[in-house]
Amino acid sequence: MSAETSDLPVAGAEPEGPATGGRRRGKVIVVMPAMNAAATLARTVDNIPREWVDEVILVDDHSTDETLPLARRLPVRVVWHPHTAGYGANQKTCYLEALQRGADAVVMLHPDGQYEPGLIPKMVDPILAGRADLVLGSRFAEPGMALANGMPRWKYVANRALTTIENRVLGTHLSEAHTGYRAYSRRLLLTVPFLRNSIDFSFDSELIMQAAQFGMRIEEVPAACRYTRDASTVGFRSAVVYGLKTLWACACLELHRAHFVSSRKFKDPGEGAS
């Protein structure tokens, strides 16, 4: 992979909390896993609240449209894959780059405009305040919001079913376990072995399971989602595969906890790779 830099300006001295409209101390980096996002990228970047974000890193997974040349003209740090690696692989590059650049809080923001960049302050404040290691932007935190914003009913039903199963396995009480809007603490990214995860969309499910397994503190904030023609979407067939892989990850976690079959994904990296 290669990197080119045109970084956002670093924020100045911050107040101790958001009550005055400022932010707490700590370096905030937004990462954008991009794949053919030229139609929405500039608008999404423009809407990022710069006073809350120190840097933006875009990782292009070998887009075939104008995403890469457009990104090079925007105030972001560009990292590009020489060939398509997958959504999960893209995120691995995102988080490694953010950690190398000293991030205290890392927000994953999709460049397709589905999630509102203006929510970033609420996503990162629990992390900067030391209350949370993972903040999820939940489309289900407010009853009826997901369907009102255009979520297809079949996705709604599948999301609710999978989240219910995952809550039982993880011992959590999440309103949604399948949001693509997330913020991570540096502690979480240095602790959970996310590099061992899948390179496809099941990466997201595995990371939430790892967070629960390693005792990370999780909070949710309500997050609206736009379902537009330009927004990326997972088709029915891909969604079925994703659901089955999520259930398989749940099974692997249960087997690991029972000491029946050890899984490297849920094993402390300090214990070795065996």
Residue 100: predicted pLDDT: 98
E runs forming strands in 18-163: 28-34, 55-60, 77-80, 105-108, 134-138
What total number of domains does the chain contain?
1
pLDDT tens, residue by residue, 70-86: 999 999 999 999 999 99
Residue 270: predicted pLDDT: 74
- Residue 113 φ/ψ, nearest 5 degrees: 80, 10
Cβ atoms of 194 and 94 closer than 8 Å = no
Residue 12: predicted pLDDT: 34
Residues comprising the chain, all counted: 274
Q: Higher confidence at residue 259 or residue 230?
A: 259
What is the pLDDT of the chain when averaged over all its residues? 90
Q: Higher confidence at residue 180 or residue 9?
A: 180
Cβ atoms of 105 and 27 closer than 8 Å = yes
Confirm whether 273 is domain-assigned.
Answer: no
Cα gap 180→112, rounded to integer Å: 11
pTM, two decimals, is 0.88
Confirm whether 274 is domain-assigned.
Answer: no
pLDDT tens, residue by residue, 9-22: 333 333 344 433 57
pLDDT confidence tier of residue 229, bands split at 50, 70 and 90? low
Q: Please name the residue that has the structure tokens 């999780």.
A: 218
Please list, in sequence order, all residues whose beta carbon lies within 8 angstroms of the beta carbon of residue 54, skipping any fewer than 6 positions away. 8, 10, 11, 27, 28, 29
Average pLDDT value for residue range 44-65 = 98
CATH at residue 248: 3.90.550.10
Q: Which region among 19-33, 76-90, 112-126, 147-161 has the lowest average model confidence (pLDDT)? A: 19-33
Amino acid letter, 150: G
Residue 48: predicted pLDDT: 98
Residue 17: predicted pLDDT: 47
Domain coverage including residue 211: 2-268
Confirm whether 157 is domain-assigned.
Answer: yes
